[in-house]
Amino acid sequence: MQLGTRWSSGDEPPTAVPAVLRPQIAAVDAAMPGDQLGQPRPRWTLTWLEGRPIAELDTGVLVELDAAGNVVVRHDVGDEFG
C-alpha cells in the first residue's frame, strides 16, 4: 500500500486524487450532516492498493475503483460492533 494524501471533508481534493473519484467524494461530502458543535470535519485519506486509488473518510466511507474500473462507494464496517 502506498500512502497518498489527506484533506478535510468538504475541501477541494488535492490534485493527486484521480478525477474519476472526485464526483463520488463530493457526493459523500454533500451528504454529511452539518456539525452544530464546532467539531473538526472528518478527513479523507488517499491511498493506493494494487495500483488502484482508495479514498477513505475517517467515518469509514470508502470511494474506490473496483477491479473493472468502476467507482464504488461503500462503508467499511471492519471490526465495528453494534
Please state the domain extents for the chain: 2-31+41-75
pLDDT in tens, 16-44: 999 999 999 999 999 987 776 667 789 99
**Of the ranges 3-7, 30-34, 47-51, 62-66, which is most confident?**
62-66
CA separation for the pair 51, 80 (Å, rounded) = 27
In sequence order, which ranges of 1-82 are alpha helices (DSSP H)?
Answer: 22-31
CB 62 within 8 A of CB 54: yes
CA separation for the pair 79, 9 (Å, rounded) = 23
Half-sphere exposure at residue 38, Cβ-oriented, CA atoms within 13 angstroms: 0
Average pLDDT of the segment spanning 46-66: 94
pTM: 0.83
